[in-house]
Amino acid sequence: MIRPILTIILCFTNLFVIAQTEKVQSESIADCEGAINVFKSGNYSIEFTGKQGYIDDLLNYPSLSAISSKNIVWVSYIADADGVLTLDAKVNENFIQMIIFQETTSNVCVELSNGTAEIKRIYKGVDQQVVGLDSNVAGGKLYPLSLLAGQKIMIAFTTLEKTKSTVKFDFNFHYDEGSPFSEKEPKVLDKRNDDFAPTLTIFARDKETNTPVIGNIIIEDSKELSGLYRCSDLLLTAPKPSKVFVRFDAEGYFFQDKEVKLVATSDQQILFKLERIGKGKSFQIEEIEFIPGTSEIMPESESKLRRLKDFMGLNSDINIEIQGHVFLIGENGFASQKLSEGRAKRVMAYLVENGINKNRMTAVGYGNTKPIYPNPKFAYEEQANRRVEILVK
């Protein structure tokens, strides 16, 4: 079967040079802080890196000495309602081990470093190629895990040192009976707490059909609104003026992120127009920023690249070509060609550094030979020509 070709476009804006802050935590999928985020039930595949992470997250757990952290991948999940988790994870060679930690009072990765994160499930034998959570407890299967809304878990899978095998896992969160999240119809979630205050509405629609799309809405950087909500339409009481970061994930669609400036004096809407994953589709991640005239990625852009890393991490059967483009008036020159190639290679280096197999990626520079706007008249058109495209085969 011919694989569909998908195109992911990462646009960036040239900004003034700012001081680069030192990186204080690892983004590698072999470290807790770089865990791949799972937002919904589904079938996933993750490739082991074949090496240890930058941090030994199991160091303060003597009871886990039988589990090697020299070849490990991490997955995180936050329950959006009360329910029960089951999963089935398998490798085609060697063995697989599994530990599930649950956050107690603070960041679970910080708790791991302190040895205070609670171990909820563990299988540390080296005799199974299949582990998981199932009501039929046998072999590497343990009892399902009950979670309350908002609880976060971290799952570590380990295997034989230095091997780059793939773990395929079927992840299923079963909502408690009567949960509104189990409804199949488009769901409106009304979380307003003041009938007289302006309303902030976040809603998601299919780009082609304009029908509602149920998914996970994650709001960050807001004391009043931060959290995870599952719906197609979310109604909130407008907070004080601020900037928030909103993410949307839905099965069968490309993810989408928005940074939004909120107002408190009038109603406001945030619309996500979502593209289905399919042949010939394009996907855009905004504001991948480079230091002007260089291939250096701005530190604040790494959160955008992390989304691409998660996408690659959860779809280990996908290979990509990273294509660099720059904006320059006139014919393509050596400098623009090298700059576009350097930026493509920089994106690739980020992914490799954080656990994605380099054999799944190639980097190509196109200079200014393929502009979206051949004769740009506005700044946003020039910006659109400065981009990195990801061709997914």
Q: Region 226-251: what's the mean pLDDT?
A: 87
Q: What pLDDT was estimated at residue 281?
A: 60
Averaged pLDDT, 105-124: 91
Q: 3-state SS string over the chain?
A: CCCCCEEEEEECCCCCCCCCCCCCCCCCCCCHHHCEECCCCEEEEEECCCCCCCCCCCCCCHHHCCCCCCCEEEEEEECCCCEEEEEEEECCCCCCEEEEEECCCCCHHHHHHHCCCEEEEEECCCCCCEEEECCCCCCCEECCEEECCCCEEEEEEECCCCCCCEEEEEEEEEECCCCHHHCCCCCEEECCCCCCCCEEEEEEEECCCCCECCEEEEEECCCCCCEEEEECEEEEECCCCEEEEEEEECCCECCEEEEEEECCCCCEEEEEEECECCCCCEEEECCCCECCCCCCECHHHHHHHHHHHHHHHHECCCCEEEEEECCCCCCCCHHHHHHHHHHHHHHHHHHHHCCCCHHHEEEEECCCCCCCCCCCCCHHHHHHHCEEEEEEC
Write the pLDDT tens digit of every residue in 169-217: 999 999 887 666 665 556 889 999 888 889 999 999 999 999 999 888 9
| pTM score | 0.72
Q: Is the pLDDT of residue 156 over 80?
A: yes
> pLDDT of 31-48, one tens digit each?
999 999 887 888 888 999
More confident residue, 241 or 135: 135
pLDDT at 21: 34
pLDDT of residue 14: 42
Is it the case that residue 7 has pLDDT exceeding 80?
no
Q: Which domains does the chain have, with CATH numbers?
A: 6-20+287-392 (3.30.1330.60), 32-178 (2.60.120.380), 183-274 (2.60.40.2190)
pLDDT above 60: residue 10: no
